Structure 1
């Protein structure tokens, strides 16, 4: 049986506006890394301020930590969280087929969106205070299509796609254990082993994809993720390293 990782705290709430908001509230007094889980969120959010649908029975959790190093290094923990999520899914289902990671921060199952990651930080200038890694996983229910923005990847749930009926707290234990393992690897050996592990699980590697920002669109072959976490596309104009975008297949 998987054990809760040593050195990581756990706060479980019945209802909260957002586990990310709760992380911000407790950050000033947090003595070490702590996971915050809520059975119900009333104001959950995703990337770029988008709403995040959180049906009952799904996982809503945030890891609050105070990482060392530059903000850019801290941001690479989205990749740490992604491979930890992937491995947690394998642990609770006993299978890896159909699972993949979509840059920059989604977990896909059979081509549909199973989970998402959102990083938020506090601090001034180059001084990073706390890092909050928000994670949502569709364990039992996928949000209704009308709750999503136009063009979003269709949502799926772990239950509907694999038949695995997993309680949020049980999934979080697997996730926390895997995250602690990869965090230790990241701190000891740097980003390269994490980058390699992420690429081994990447969706559409070697295929033509589209990366869109609010002002531009880049189409090219997904070549790799570089040492800074940028998406690298081989385009008609040459190689392009993209730090932030939404990816479409």
Structure 2
């Protein structure tokens, strides 16, 4: 699911399929759909959407328990009205960036153009993973260090269940040498002068034969969690941590960050930026969320998340 590929114009489901999914998301079975065109059923299969036409009508068969607004709201301790669940969308981040809800939470059973850092896109098969975005408005401009706090929130929710869990600066969740998920923080300036911020999370949850060898899932780690319960836990953690971050900054989170990112510290990684690709040793992060690294025979430098990416070198 949450691997990144550089694509410029993601293919999208037809309007007919999207409309059908919207209807099926609200009812268990559509018994007045008539005979669904073969082309539409083939398109659904192409997108990994499990549609089945029976004598009773057209059904949407979820591979696992569907996302539940009541369960998410109960665990997160928020009103159901703040939660929006889509059967499929291009990107939950895009859905919230176009919304004025404050705060707004959007989840999708499937995505075909989820966004990652450095203009990368990813797709998510139907009903298997957690694709979620959390949006709010504020007067202050975006603080990139918030992504680090968000990653720590996911780390805290999962750390008791998974051995070898860690965070790769600035926004990826890893288990040993494989990626479990990632985050992306985006912002839009409103006419009022406020800033609309949206934090997106993609997390591999259930079994998925399309996952590449470089990725893993909770299922592969023998962890069984309801996606709805997991989403509620993360939302609740974020609300508490974001309030603390807004008041105290990143400093109180640094001890936990050093614990969560321990496998990366003092290691040689590959840096990718405008200069190209080169190795450097990771020294630590500062109170502003920047990463300090040192190339061989050079002085230490500070890197900003928007400028670079890094990857552990194969051992």
Alignment partner, residue 229 of structure 2 = 170
* Residues in 2 aligned to 1:213 and 1:200: alpha-carbon distance in whole angstroms: 26
1:139-165 Cα shifts (integer Å, max 9, x gaps): 01457367xxxxxx811011112x122
Q: TM-score scaled by structure 2?
A: 0.68
Alignment partner, residue 49 of structure 1 = 119
Alignment partner, residue 78 of structure 1 = 147
SS in 2 for 1:114: strand
1:113 aligns with 2:183: no
Q: TM-score scaled by structure 1?
A: 0.84
Alignment partner, residue 226 of structure 1 = 286
SS in 1 for 2:87: strand
Alignment partner, residue 150 of structure 1 = none
Q: Confirm or deny: 8 A CA contact 2:112 2:123 kept in the other structure.
A: no
Q: Confirm or deny: 8 A CA contact 2:112 2:122 kept in the other structure.
A: no
1:23 aligns with 2:127: no
Gaps in structure 2 of 5+ consecutive residues: 1-70
Pairwise CA distance, 1:195: 3.0
Pairwise CA distance, 1:7: 7.5
List aligned pairs for 1:180-195, cutoff 5 A: 180-195=239-254
Pairwise CA distance, 1:55: 2.4
Gaps in structure 1 of 5+ consecutive residues: 147-152
- Could you say if the C-alpha distance between residues 172 and 55 of structure 1 is closer, same or farther in structure 2, counting changes exceeding 3 Å? same
SS in 1 for 2:214: coil
Q: Which has the higher strand share?
A: 1
- Could you say if the C-alpha distance between residues 172 and 145 of structure 1 is closer, same or farther in structure 2, counting changes exceeding 3 Å? closer
Pairwise CA distance, 1:247: 0.7
Alignment partner, residue 149 of structure 1 = none
Given candidates 188, 195, 199, the residue that maps to 1:133 is 199
Q: Confirm or deny: 8 A CA contact 2:140 2:195 kept in the other structure.
A: no
Which has the bigger relative contact order, CA under 8 A and spacing at least 6?
A: 1
* Residues in 2 aligned to 1:7 and 1:210: alpha-carbon distance in whole angstroms: 44
* Residues in 2 aligned to 1:7 and 1:80: alpha-carbon distance in whole angstroms: 24
Alignment partner, residue 298 of structure 2 = 237
Mark the structure with the bigger radius of gyration: 2
Alignment partner, residue 166 of structure 2 = 100
1:27-56 Cα shifts (integer Å, max 9, x gaps): 3xx1x2221111111322222221213123
Alignment partner, residue 3 of structure 1 = 75
